[in-house]
Structure formats: structure tokens, C-alpha cells
Amino acid sequence: MNKFWASLALAGAGCLATETAQAEPVKIAIIESLSGGQAAVGKMFLTAINYGLIKLNDEKVWPDGIKVLEYDNQGGPSEAADKVKAAINDGAHIIVQGASSAIGGQITDDVRKHNVRNPGKEIMYFNVGAEAMEFTGSRCHFYHFRWNGNAEIRLRAMLTAMKDANALGTKVYVIGQNYSWGHDVERLVKEYAKFGGYTVVGDVIHDVNKIQDFAPYVAKIKETAPDTVITGNWSSDLLLLMKAAGDSGLKVRFATYWMDQPGNVANAGATAIGHFNVSSFYPEANGDATAKFADDFKAKMGQYPVFIQGHTVHGIWGLGEALKKLKPADGKVNVKQLAFAMETVRFNTSMGEVAMRKEDHQVLLPLVVATVSKDAKYKVDGTDMGFKPLRLISGKEAASPVQASCKMERPTS
């Protein structure tokens, strides 16, 4: 446990010692990918959570402090399941996770099952990254809260900005990875064709992070002559796809969800220029407000917020807003009452208003669509390129309808 986490734990313990014997801190279990191929992403979540908790502790949002428990899920669902059990045994009230919808699916089911079997001892899943639609659809439940976007909300924002800028075109090709997230993106791109004013001229699903040469896929794309290629690909699947497109001389715009993951622009090089990405935060997104947030983040954490870090911070602040509404009962943390408080959270950030939607526990958050450009003020990956905002979309404008498949069973208050 690093010094920051240790200080939080000691602060919580210190508060506990000065209160009644019944008092307890809020225990947050971070179950993230801290080793293996996705460790870099897991650690970015940790950095953002660190920053968010600084404010919560400065404001003393909970009288007995916040204690952080840290677990490595090793990048796998089965390992995550073991860590959920460990966190429950250690008295965790809230489980926070973001890297991977596959892992998120395991955690949300484990949390739901635990709560059914242990009334009065509920725990909460605080989702800051798993974006598969089913989490706020067929698998929604009262103790899951998603503080990031999802495939539909982010696609809607991207299409809105690109169409208004006459940058979308009328022919779209969609390529994605063969799991729930990739299938969500493919289905939604087709469903939103009328909204975007385009025809889907081709689509393909491929294995996840196993394709070494995307040239055959690019050849198929070239045959259909699209204006824009929309992809939910991430990591090597995005980089190799873009490189293969560049090597082939394919003149097409890419519209992506994850190009702002650190390293992507550097690895893609000039191939990335002119392509689009939708994200929850860029320092240039909202003038002085987002610049001030970015500068403070860098001053405290040593880097500008990137990738998933903006909405993760806002999610932790949302937890603080919910905690402020509670009064400890005999010093105990009542997770059910915390969930009732959390589904009414609404507050302002440097990006605009963030609000939790009560019907499905999907946050409505501002999103920004940007292009990779040398004109961007904030450069990334040590290059002369960065993300130049095209448009900031409010949470209300980006919001998609509540999915009919979400049949949330609500406890009595």
C-alpha cells in the first residue's frame, strides 16, 4: 500500500479511535487490474481515485473518515471474484472498479448475489469504467452505479458533434472486438444510422487483441469506400488497425472511443492526425474551468488528467455528495441509505453538470469530442500532437433513453 493510501487508512483509524466504540469509517475497496497487461490502466484509475479522495477528506464528508482497501484482480474475472470475497470479509461497503467490462460483469453479479443473501449487510458496486450496455440494462440492480458513459451515450455525443461539423459523411463502416462491448458498438452504429444521416456500408467483428496484421481487414474496408470508420477498439487492436490503414493509403476518418489512452497517439504517429475521439475530459474542453482542474490535478498527481481519469474523479466527488446527505446511524455506514442518496446526486464540475439518473443508475455526464491535431494546446505522449476539442456535449444532450430491459427492484427505504 503506498503512502497516500496508508495515510487515508490511518486517518480513518484515528477518527475511529476518537469517536464512540460503535463508529466506523466508510470502507472503499478498489479492485483493479494492478498487474499484467492492463496494469497501466488500473493504475490510472487509482491515481484519479487518489485525487478525488483528497477533496472528500478535506471536506470531511464522513465524520469517521474514509478507509481505502486495495486489491489486485490480476486482469481476470475469477480473480476479481476472489477479491470481492476478500473485500467483504474485510468489511468493505463500496467496491470500485473500472478496467474491463468482463471484470465488471463478474463484480456486479457478485454484489447483487451477496445483497440478496445478506439483507442488512449490503455492499455497493461503484462502476467507473465498465461501459457494456447490459450493466444499466438487463443486469441493472439497485446497488450498481455507473459513473462513466456507455456505448450509446458516447456514440450519440460523437455522432452529434461530427454531423454538426460536417465531418461524419454518409457512408460508415464499423469494426469491433468480439465481446459484449464490441457487439454493443456495432449494434448501436447500425441503430443510429438515421440519427447520423449515414448508411452502414460494412461491418466486422474480430478476436480481441489477437490480430497481428489488420491489412486484410483494411482491404475489406477499402472496398466499401466509407467516409468514416467507427470503432470501439482499444489497446493494440486500435493501434494496429490505424497503422494498417495508414500503411495502405486508406483515406478515411476514424471515430474512436479510446484513442486518448496514453501511448496511442505516439504509437500511431502522423496516422492519428484528423481522427476523432470522444472522452469525458480534455483540459481544453471548457476554457479556464477545465484548465484549472487539469493544472490542480497535475500539481497534486504529477500529470494532467487523461483517458478515464476525468469522470473517475467526478464519480468520487459524486460519492462525496451522497455521503453529505447521510447522518450516521449509531456511527454505522448504511449502504442502502447511501444508495438512495446517491441516485439523487447532481452537482457541477469544470465540464458542466453531472447527474445520476434514478431509473437505471446511469450517470448523465458531459462529453467532449475532439480531433488529433498539432494545434492542440496540451500535447500528449511527448509528441507535437494533442486533442483539439470540437464540441462539448452536455449530459442532457448526450443522454440516451433508459433501456426497457432494466427492471430494477427497489428496496423499501
In DSSP notation, 193-204 reads HHHHT-EEEEEE
Which residues have a Cβ under 8 Å from the Cβ of 365 and sit 6 or more positions away? Answer: 147, 148, 149, 280, 311, 314, 351, 354, 395, 398
C-alpha cell at 65: 473518515
- In order, the DSSP letters of 83-139 are HHHHHHHTT-SEEEE-S-HHHHHHHHHHHHHHHHHSTTS--EEEESS---GGGGTTT
List of E strands, 333-413: 346-349, 352-357, 362-364, 367-373, 386-393
Burial class (CB in 10 A: 0-12, 13-18, 19+), 56: buried
C-alpha cell at 113: 448475489
Quick one: pLDDT at residue 370? 98
All residue ranges of the chain with pLDDT < 50 are 1, 3-10, 12-21
Quick one: pLDDT at residue 14? 45
- At 193-244, the pLDDT tens digits run 999 999 999 999 999 889 999 999 999 999 999 999 999 998 889 989 988 9
- At 130-140, the pLDDT tens digits run 998 999 999 99
Quick one: pLDDT at residue 394? 96
- At 341-369, the pLDDT tens digits run 999 999 999 999 999 999 999 999 999 99
DSSP-based three-state secondary structure for 54: helix
Distance linking the first and last C-alpha atoms of the chain: 37
Query: Domains of the chain, with CATH numbers?
Result: 3-149+304-364 (3.40.50.2300), 152-279+366-398 (3.40.50.2300)
Single pTM value for the model: 0.91
